[in-house]
Structure 1
Amino acid sequence: MLKKFAIASALIAVVASTSMAQSVCLPAPRLLTTMPMGGQVGSEFDVAITGQTIENTEQLLFSSPKITATPKLDASGKPLANQFVVSIAADCPPGIHTARVMSRLGISSARVFTVSDLPEVTQTKPSASVETAMPIEINSICNATLPVRAANHYSFSAKKGQRLVVDCAAPGIDSKMNPVLILADAQGRDMLVERRGGALDYTVPADGDYTVKVHDLTFKGGAECFYRLAVQEVPADAPLARLPSTRAVGSFSWPPTGLAAEASASETEPNNDRETVQAITLPCDIAGSFFPAADVDAFEFTAKKGEVWWVEVASERLGRPTDASIIVQQVIGEGADEKLVDLVELSDIASPIKRSSNAYAYDGPPYNAGSTDILGKMEIREDGKYRLQITDLFGGTRIDPNNVYRLIIRQAEPDFAVVAWPLHMVLRNGDRNALSKPLALRGGSTVALEVVAVRRDGFNGEIELTLENLPDGVTTTGLKIPAGKARGLMLVTAHQDAPRGLTMAKFTATATIGDKPVTHPCHVASVAWPVTNAWSEIPAPRLLADIPVSVGGSEFAAITIAPTEEKVWEAKAGETLKIPLQHVRRGEFSGTLLGLRTMGAGFEGVPKFDLKLNEDASEAILDLAKLKTPPGDYTIAFYGSAVAKHRDNPDRLVAAEAAHAQAQQTVTDLTAEVTRLANETATASPDQKADSQKLADAVAAEKKAADAALAVAAAELAKAKKSTQPKDIADIVISQPISIRVSQGESK
């Protein structure tokens, strides 16, 4: 263990510089691309991957056990770096799955991997012109990457009367590409264009050959601009079905508990004004669509004074590019005497916590837990007739029958939904990074997930958080979401002796509603790409399909901050509680002080205090009188931003030095042997000279190969020395959780 500590690379120090050369976040394994990005059920095919910090990759893993991978081997039976053979079972469910790798540092971030029931091919070279168009079959999918500043071309044959849908999955599968689709004739003359991310829906007018052109809206290209192009024949009267896509973060709050899969009623067109208004009764569950352009759907109902109804609309959370808006008005009088009196106007579901404004300095996470959908209350002031009108605020130019919505009006059914993501915070002046942070733990570290709740229909109680099914040596502590609040924390701690391991964790949230405990799964979100500067690139967060937790086993946190005893620290209300802290230090520090703040409901008001990094202990002082802490049980932790003098993978240097020393010794030994054999040949008898020369030549050839191997080893040693030079890296330091019990103080 001492040896492991000696090569620890997560070396954390106080933020003592605002130099822009300073990087952000200790290295984490990130899977960036797979090619192809999916496959057909029941198939087997090769997949190549790229990523960041994914050296010593052992496994390519998927969110579905129906998808498996084994390393691809070369002719000698050795694994090829970052290449795998993937098998998809015949009963694997089609749709969005995720791929990750298990590398030296643990589990990587996720990349979308899609399973379809269509034959699939992978494009291996660009097709930049009509003449070089890649032939594709109708009812198939092509996995491809865009060339820079160019378009790919595809050709197919179709028959008169066929209804063809050409679709391109890109942003919905984590690509940085904004696709433009063009359907052209055999000579490449454009016939139909889609620039807004939609699909081409075309009925073939005549037998013949046709061309599809694909490019990015701004003609970007490269490995990060990948896509899946589908050309399918569909029945003339079938609804337009798109390729599957990831879910936006805000969709975690849909659907409400117990909601039927299908609405019990549908809007009936025309229902756009008072003459055609659609009569409904409350409660109701109605399926509708924002179609045609500028569609306004009007519904009328009667209600009594004092009734309280909750209105919820899902459309964006169903994956549609819509922004629903509702106005409810009381209808007084009839015909020409009709008068409308506003009751309530309902619009977006606000993010429960402040999200990033993309300002100069970090001012919130890059995740939006809100939605352009609706969740609000209408209180009836008088008996009478009411009219509800729903529209898409930006639907004036949208002509898409697939822009559906679901409108629910119900009496209060208090409930909640929760979502979590890795904690982000100010790490240096102006820092606004949005990095994927897989739960790849270093020994001795504590990481935090920020947990956010959307409360439904007036629910206001506290929410407990639980993360279970963890690797050996990993523990978790939920800092609950307090009553009336929207934010909590989940702290995940790896013991310094935690062995290398990986599990799929179960994250749940529990609250008491009425007199019954209610438990819901907690979704986890991540950004699709590591964004080091949100000014230069807009982060693209999405929900994940699973929650893997790993311990890498090769690196350690440079400092672990923990109470000196694992116990409940007790004090009476109004007293001052002193908690002694111990520092387990495993690396050098460029400063002597680490400023810490306090996390945990009711304790955020503890003044920032300094921890001395050149000492082994410190003390946290909590003034319960100033905090006005009531009796109860609490869990807190201390946190701060820090700088690491990080040495990337020092084991690589150890191995390179050993390999270089061995190669050098081999050359030394062979040099001596060549000299010996040369002397022996020179003095050999005529009968022995030929054999001696043959042996000398063989050893000389060995020496030549050893010289080449030494050159390779020397080059690798130089690279290892360079890559393991200490680099300043800002990161978050979080103490281990601390349990506190405050009892009733003496009355005065």
Structure 2
Amino acid sequence: MLRAASLSLVITLWSSLSWAAPAIQNVAPRGLQIGGVTRVTISGTDLAAEPQLILPAGGTATLVGDAKPNKLEFDVTLPADVAPGLFPLRVANDAGISAAVTIGVDDLPQAAMTDKIEQLPIALTGNLTGAQLIKTTLTGKQGERLVVDVEAKRLGSNLRPVVRLLDDRGAQIAFSPQHESISGDARLEFTLPYDGEYVIQLQDALYKGANPGFFRMKVGDLHYADLTFPLGIVRESSVDVEPVLTSLGEAKLTAAASSAYAPQLSPQIKTPHFTGAAPRLLVNQNAEFVELRQKPGERIETPTAPVAINGRLSGENERDEYVVPIEPGKKYRVEVLAQRLGAPTDGVLEVHKAQGGGLGSNDDQPMTGDPALTVDAPADAEKLLIVLRDLQGRYGPEYVYRIEVTPLSIGDFTLTADTNIWNVPAGGVLTIPVSVKRRGYGGPIELAWDGEAGDFALSGNVIPAGATSTLLSVASPGAGRFAVARLIGKAQVSGREVVRNVLVQPSDSGFVTAQQVEIGLGTINQPPLGVALASPFSSDKLSLGSTVSVPVQVTRREGVAGPVRLKLLSTQVTPQKEVPDPKDKNKKVKVDDVERTLRLATDVIIPAEQSDATVTIAVPKDLADRSFDLALQAELLSADQKNVVATATTAAQRFSLAAPIYLELAGETTYRFAGKLFRSEGFQGAATIKVSGLPSGATAADVELAADKSDYVIEIKLPAGMKLDALAGVKLTAVTQKNGGETTSNETSLPLPKDP
């Protein structure tokens, strides 16, 4: 009984000290109703500490009942003017902010999947895995328009939906496979032929549905628009766009101007019962050109590159030709976006000199059917002729495309960070690296929030000229604060301002998505671990080949115990060196060159009962002559030191070199030690002075002393890099012959001076 009681106490204590950020595992239903109240159940982990639901703009959420660590219930109210579409949903609480899950927002009543649909329209949430076949029935009327839209892939599910509509005899009358225009989801549209009962069937395309297999099945007289024409818009401009792959007919949609640097925006949707994501337009800082041809086959001249061309194939076997002014003798990237945006266009791209002469052609790239070319414009070419056609000669309103013509001679850059969840300790900072990949631009880049970010403050937000990264430190404005924001980088490149979003999620889409740039900012109200410098660095200068020491103090929240390991964060790109391949002696492999890396001189682990330590940073002798950001990361370890259970960071500090040169002795160093041999009265034999205890690599020759000599000099050679104190264990002895045998003198140590 005592043992069981003790175990129960340990579990309760550990649970009460949980400090992990909230994590969402499931949401039911997977949609919210515009102009109504939806009760939402969220399951996950670490949810309970003062939870708040982060919703699309204008929504409110009221907690129902008590918050539990693994379950929350909210009544969510959305005003009638909230835009329909797919949006991220997050939970924030005292331990930070969660990763986002995608939910649908529309004006449909929300319900769980059911065997019989009693009202239309309706949005049903369910789950399907393996070879499962899900069915539901409805009563329909002759001439009634019916849309069945299954959202799965668009919500992040692994289900590959296929949907069928059967009549009351069990005969299939409509079918939808997966459609690329809606990210691999299924949607059918059908006019019912008569009054009666109908069956909707849903299955995985391969009868091997993987977890998670959640979905939303929306049924009714629904409307949709998957694409627009044009496909892009210039930032800060407003444009009327034509919906494509749509049920909206010839209606125009308006994309309002925005001063933000969001990579995409959507036009305003006011149509009732709209389903799916609102169509997206790519936002461009350069020129946008829209095809307007007076007659088929006409060549059209565009603005000077960089330019994005929006076109459509309107006739069978059509070849759309564009003349693009360029700078002669420069390199250009010509890339088509069509299938990656959801259009069916299977483009074939050709690039020529406008006056004649081909420069290349392409019909696809790895992982996509969209073509692209990189061409060197000849010195006599002031214009490029760009031609696009469909591989099979297809055409129609949905065969839209976008051609981006980019001069690679103009400087540019790409910014990335490793995570999109930034949980900041109250009273401390979160320090994370932001990396830059440069193309023809080596100057500074300033990082800033794009619009509101809940007053989360930034430091270290300038990437220096020539640097490949910065250590960005983020401070929270206070307990209970959170935000969802975008981080941008600005630079003046060749007299023009270039602004790029910081990408926090990888993607192979060929364009920047909204999900790639959204950062969840949360506050850890009672962080389990903190770390700070007990006193500042004595200087912001680093000396080559030296060490820098600084006292560090860690704090553990009440009830938290464990050893803390310290690590150095640095913006230095780790140097590499070649070493023999342990698997093949004839080959070499590259490994990190630790000796040439900014690093902690020794490993530092602060015992559980201590909170202070001194860290020593070793500076390589050949460190590059540029600025470097340094910060310390503390890791709270489990008792066996095998797992990291919490981390904390200091604010970053920027250092530069005190001098770009370092002097040391190279090659062998020879030390000479002079001595005297004393003989007893009447003894006049020869002797040999011997050296013992030499460190590996050091050498010394024995010294032979004739019978009439007593002064000697011992020479010891040390290899490069070995210091004099390595000779502390060396001993000298003298050996001579007496009465036919060998006799040995006393041992004497070397008189070591200070290491020069």
* Range into which the TM-score falls when normalised by the shorter chain: 0.5 to 0.7
Give 3-state SS (helix, strand or coil) of 1:439's partner.
Answer: strand
Q: Which moved more, 1:303-312 or 1:86-95?
A: 303-312
What's 1:720 paired with? Answer: none
Q: 1:526 to 1:26 in 2, by over 3 A?
A: farther
Aligned counterpart for 2:194 among listed residues 204, 207, 232: 207
Q: CA deviation at 1:341?
A: 3.4
2:634 matches 1:619:
no
2:59 matches 1:93:
no
What's 1:553 paired with? Answer: 525
CA contact (8 A) 1:444 1:556 kept: no
**TM-score normalised by L of structure 1:** 0.61
Q: CA deviation at 1:50?
A: 1.0
2:123 matches 1:123:
no
What's 1:606 paired with? Answer: 597
- 1 or 2, which has the higher strand percentage? 2
What's 2:667 paired with? Answer: none
Deviations 1:98-152 (A, max 9, x none): 2222234222221223322x43231254x3xxxxx43452x55333333764233
CA contact (8 A) 1:158 1:204 kept: no
Distance 1:259 1:305 in 2: 16
Equivalent residues in 2 for 1:479-558, closer than 5 Å: 480-481=462-463, 489-492=471-474, 499-505=479-485, 507-515=487-495, 518-519=498-499, 522=502, 524-525=504-505, 543=515, 546-557=518-529
Which residue type is aligned with residue 90 of structure 2? R
Aligned counterpart for 1:438 among listed residues 381, 403, 421: 421
Distance 2:364 2:224 in 1: 37
Q: CA deviation at 1:600?
A: 1.3
Q: CA deviation at 1:627?
A: 0.7
Distance 1:462 1:321 in 2: 41
Q: 1:619 to 1:247 in 2, by over 3 A?
A: farther
Q: CA deviation at 1:85?
A: 0.8
Give 3-state SS (helix, strand or coil) of 1:501's partner.
Answer: coil
Which residue type is aligned with residue 407 of structure 1? I
2:617 matches 1:645:
no
Q: CA deviation at 1:87?
A: 0.4
- 1 or 2, which has the higher helix percentage? 1
2:655 matches 1:740:
yes
Deviations 1:626-663 (A, max 9, x none): 11324xx54333559x67328xxxxxxxxxxxxxxxxx
Q: CA deviation at 1:89?
A: 0.7
What's 1:39 paired with? Answer: 32
Distance 2:362 2:14 in 1: 58
Equivalent residues in 2 for 1:209-288, closer than 5 Å: 209=196, 210-217=198-205, 218-220=207-209, 224-232=213-221, 239-241=244-246, 243-245=275-277, 254-257=282-285, 259-260=287-288, 263-265=289-291, 278=299, 280-281=301-302, 283=304, 285-288=308-311
Distance 1:268 1:418 in 2: 39
Q: 1:181 to 1:279 in 2, by over 3 A?
A: same
Aligned counterpart for 1:181 among listed residues 147, 157, 163: 163
Unaligned 5+ runs, structure 1: 1-6, 12-24, 128-132, 271-275, 334-339, 351-369, 424-436, 528-540, 647-724
What's 1:70 paired with? Answer: 62
Equivalent residues in 2 for 1:670-689, closer than 5 Å: none
Distance 2:351 2:283 in 1: 23
CA contact (8 A) 1:34 1:48 kept: yes
CA contact (8 A) 2:108 2:122 kept: yes
CA contact (8 A) 1:446 1:494 kept: yes
Of the two structures, which has the highest relative contact order with CA contacts closer than 8 Å and spacing of 6 or more?
Answer: 1
What's 2:53 paired with? Answer: 60
2:117 matches 1:134:
yes
Which residue type is aligned with residue 541 of structure 2? A
Q: CA deviation at 1:60?
A: 1.9
Q: CA deviation at 1:265?
A: 1.1
2:192 matches 1:192:
no
Q: 1:282 to 1:476 in 2, by over 3 A?
A: closer
Distance 1:372 1:736 in 2: 44
Q: CA deviation at 1:617?
A: 2.2
Q: CA deviation at 1:739?
A: 2.6
2:359 matches 1:342:
yes
Percent of residue pairs bearing the same amino acid type: 19
Distance 2:655 2:501 in 1: 27
Q: CA deviation at 1:582?
A: 0.9
Q: CA deviation at 1:247?
A: 11
Deviations 1:414-447 (A, max 9, x none): 5757665544xxxxxxxxxxxxx63334457754
CA contact (8 A) 1:307 1:379 kept: yes
Equivalent residues in 2 for 1:447-466, closer than 5 Å: 447-449=430-432, 451=434, 461-466=443-448
> Which has the greater radius of gyration?
2
Give 3-state SS (helix, strand or coil) of 1:186's partner.
Answer: coil
Distance 1:450 1:327 in 2: 41
Distance 1:569 1:221 in 2: 56
What's 2:625 paired with? Answer: 629
What's 1:367 paired with? Answer: none
Give 3-state SS (helix, strand or coil) of 2:606's partner.
Answer: coil
Equivalent residues in 2 for 1:140-151, closer than 5 Å: 140-146=122-128, 149-151=131-133
Distance 2:76 2:158 in 1: 24
Question: RMSD in angstroms over aligned alpha carbons?
Answer: 5.2
CA contact (8 A) 1:45 1:85 kept: yes
What's 1:358 paired with? Answer: none
Q: 1:747 to 1:549 in 2, by over 3 A?
A: closer
Q: 1:588 to 1:505 in 2, by over 3 A?
A: same
Q: CA deviation at 1:179?
A: 1.4
Q: CA deviation at 1:54?
A: 1.2
What's 1:672 paired with? Answer: none
Distance 2:142 2:393 in 1: 31
Distance 1:460 1:208 in 2: 70
Which residue type is aligned with residue 515 of structure 2? L
What's 2:735 paired with? Answer: none
Q: 1:97 to 1:155 in 2, by over 3 A?
A: same
Deviations 1:216-268 (A, max 9, x none): 333537775132424435699984339444999xx9xx5321555xx421579
Which residue type is aligned with residue 554 of structure 2? V
Distance 2:496 2:471 in 1: 24
Q: 1:140 to 1:344 in 2, by over 3 A?
A: same
Which residue type is aligned with residue 638 of structure 2? K
* Count of aligned pairs: 564
CA contact (8 A) 1:509 1:521 kept: yes
Distance 2:523 2:129 in 1: 38
Aligned counterpart for 2:546 among listed residues 570, 573, 576: 576
Give 3-state SS (helix, strand or coil) of 1:172's partner.
Answer: helix
Distance 2:522 2:324 in 1: 56
CA contact (8 A) 2:45 2:70 kept: no
Equivalent residues in 2 for 1:240-389, closer than 5 Å: 240-241=245-246, 243-245=275-277, 254-257=282-285, 259-260=287-288, 263-265=289-291, 278=299, 280-281=301-302, 283=304, 285-289=308-312, 297-299=319-321, 301=323, 306=328, 308=330, 311-315=334-338, 318=341, 326-330=349-353, 341-343=358-360, 378-383=376-381, 387-389=385-387
Q: 1:316 to 1:519 in 2, by over 3 A?
A: same
CA contact (8 A) 2:96 2:522 kept: yes
